[in-house]
Structure 1
Amino acid sequence: MTTKAPSSSPRRAGQRLSWRNPSVRSAVYQGLLLALVAAAAWYLLSNTLANLAQRNISSGFGFLGREAGFAIGETPIAYTPADTYGRAILVGLLNTLRVSVVCIVVATLLGTLLGMARLSHNWLIARLAGVYIEFVRNVPLLLQLFFWYAIITESTPGPRQALNPLPGVFLSNRGLKLPGLQGDALDWIAGGLALAVLLSVLLWHGARKMRLRSGKPLPVLRIAATLLLALPLAGWWFSGAALALDMPHLRGFNFQGGISLSPEFAALTMGLVVYTSAFIAEVVRSGVQSVSRGQWEAAQALGLSRGRTLRLVILPQALRVIVPPMTSQFLNVTKNSSLAVAIGYPDIVSVVNTTLNQTGQAVEGIMIIMAAYLAVSLAIALLMNWYNRRIALVER
């Protein structure tokens, strides 16, 4: 004889909808929080639109298509005052990206050297590196920017008395002038260089897998150096050698032609590199010290020199500790570049400030700046997180 179990589905349904159920309480709290955030956003938006309408200020991004009417000192792409506000803001964004990339690369190299110097067995080198790091980290970045800008602009002569250490190289208070290249071959050379970098990266990954499988190393550095030299030359040859050297020359009160590095760009680069390298040095030092002493002793027992031990044994393990805080330093470089407005470098903040002063579109201008820095920061974070996952230890 079988007995039928009593049905408990109504009771269970009541329990699922009871306030004692943690899931129900969690859903209610999250719904209330979401409604509160939506109400706050609606209030701020409606209040802003009402204030703009009261002052007869039109909203929207239609001003981006209007003529800008102001010049920009440094333009990585073609730009004239007759171009639109949208193109002017693009120029400012490219200037921000240019200085950020240069500073990230140089600050990483300098910071790594300083971090290694801090760990040196030489007492003088270790103490000098420590004094540099502690001094630079505790001086405000804005003050350092003013210092470098004053040094560059006040300690160099005018264009007519410019220093000429090498043929075609002039240093004055207007900046550094260098010989440049011009011609149709530049696109081919740039394409060859980009292809060489891509092939070098693929070669490095392939050589690493081959070394793990068979233990046979490949001369990656020699092959990569050959590619970096041969492919740009091949691009130059295929283009018909349409390339000419553009030498800077004095005309009036300034130089014409060649490549120009402005004092503002130089001061901003120096300030960001010096400031950020001190923080990166501490990141590198802590990462190296996180590797156990036994790794050093095992490498020395195998007969490896200190340099090879550091390069082949210690740094690959320290990278797993170094990369996360290093990502924060790269993000700080990009965000700190907004201080460029204080010394007159035309980054995106400076260009948007000029734009909103002319158009009155303050809200839209701030939104553009926020979106630009958010996009750049997210791109850096995604790239560094991908690299961090690549080097992370895989548990078996």
Structure 2
Amino acid sequence: MSYHWNWGILLSPVSTGEPTTYLGWLLSGLWVTVTVSLCAWVIALIVGSFFGVLRTVQNPRVAAIGTVYVAIFRNIPLIVQFFVWYLVIPELLPVSIGTWFKQLPPGAQFFSSSIICLGLFTAARVCEQVRSGINALPRGQRFAGFALGLTQWQTYRYVLLPVAYRIIVPPLTSEFLNIFKNSAVASTIGLLDLSAQARQLVDYTAQTYESFIAVTIAYLLINMIVMSLMRIVEAKSRLPGYIGGK
């Protein structure tokens, strides 16, 4: 193999004159990836839970709202959604809001568009997890809530959702991992995340293997940390008699 390995390039100052190293570029990209993914996950969990509840209510028209949301966001490729949120949505907003967005620094535009797009895309998947968790519960739990004098929303809040969330911790873990991997698509609209910084390092140094091996290790570390944390959550939230319970 004629390739010239040079791991020391990661500690070399960047050729652009910035006061950092190529490793610094990767670390800044890692920070962006983690920040975007965590912010998007908050949106996904809140929005996905809301529409997941809508899909399980007895009113067909209300349930249809959640169905339409899932159909739209799950059937449009993620890369297309990134470009829609970055290029199209600002043009459809009121002029004052669209102008304000366009006047933001490019980095802020990339960052905010990525968070919203990734969060709403993942919310459609979380919605299905929440719906499945609620539907997996015995129907008697819903009726028991009504028998206690709770309203429909109080029944969801105090009876159904606390149990449903514990059941769906394993599939939610998969979605949590996916959001970190899907964040790499945001580089297509200009976000300097981990994958974008890796390509930039290759462009400036031509050290392809070192760059992408380092990025691969970074993603593996993220996944290992997430898996470890979610195992703890799953162990603490297990309920006897349900999936994963003892």
- TM score, norm. by length of structure 2: 0.90
Determine the C-alpha separation between the residues in 2 that align with 1:164 and 1:280: 29
**Matched letter for residue 104 of structure 2:** G
Superposition pairs of residues 106-125 of structure 1, within 5 angstroms: 106-125=43-62
Partner of 1:173: 102
Matched-pair identity in %: 33
Partner of 2:11: 65
Q: 1:139 to 1:383 in 2, by over 3 A?
A: same
- TM score, norm. by length of structure 1: 0.57
Q: 1:172 to 1:283 in 2, by over 3 A?
A: closer
**Distance apart, 1:82 and its partner CA:** 2.8
Superposition pairs of residues 199-238 of structure 1, within 5 angstroms: none
Higher strand share: 1
Partner of 2:33: 96
Partner of 1:29: none
The Cα offsets for residues 212-260 of structure 1, whole Å up to 9 and x where unpaired, read as xxxxxxxxxxxxxxxxxxxxxxxxxxxxxxxxxxxxxxxxxxxxxxxx9
Partner of 2:177: 331
- Aligned residues: CA RMSD: 2.4
Superposition pairs of residues 90-169 of structure 1, within 5 angstroms: 90-152=27-89, 154=91, 163=96
Gapped regions of structure 2 (runs ≥ 5): none
Determine the C-alpha separation between the residues in 2 that align with 1:373 and 1:333: 12
Q: 1:377 is matched with which residue: 206, 213, 223?
A: 223
Superposition pairs of residues 7-26 of structure 1, within 5 angstroms: none
Q: 1:61 to 1:155 in 2, by over 3 A?
A: farther
Partner of 1:309: 155
Partner of 1:362: 208
Partner of 2:164: 318
Q: 2:146 is matched with which residue: 293, 296, 300?
A: 300
- Does the CA-based 8 Å contact 2:110-2:190 persist in structure 1? yes
Gapped regions of structure 1 (runs ≥ 5): 1-49, 71-79, 177-259
**Distance apart, 1:154 and its partner CA:** 5.0
Higher helix share: 2
**Distance apart, 1:153 and its partner CA:** 5.8
The Cα offsets for residues 334-376 of structure 1, whole Å up to 9 and x where unpaired, read as 0000012211100011111111221111111111111111111
Determine the C-alpha separation between the residues in 2 that align with 1:164 and 1:278: 26
Q: 1:284 is matched with which residue: 117, 120, 130?
A: 130
Structure 1 residue runs of 4+, over 6 Å off?
A: none
Determine the C-alpha separation between the residues in 2 that align with 1:115 and 1:284: 5
Q: 1:99 to 1:291 in 2, by over 3 A?
A: same
Q: 1:164 to 1:132 in 2, by over 3 A?
A: closer
SS of 1:120's equivalent in the other structure is coil
The Cα offsets for residues 183-226 of structure 1, whole Å up to 9 and x where unpaired, read as xxxxxxxxxxxxxxxxxxxxxxxxxxxxxxxxxxxxxxxxxxxx
**Distance apart, 1:121 and its partner CA:** 3.0
Tell me which of the two structures has the higher relative contact order, counting C-alpha pairs closer than 8 angstroms and 6 or more residues apart.
2
The Cα offsets for residues 271-306 of structure 1, whole Å up to 9 and x where unpaired, read as 211211001001000100100011112222222222
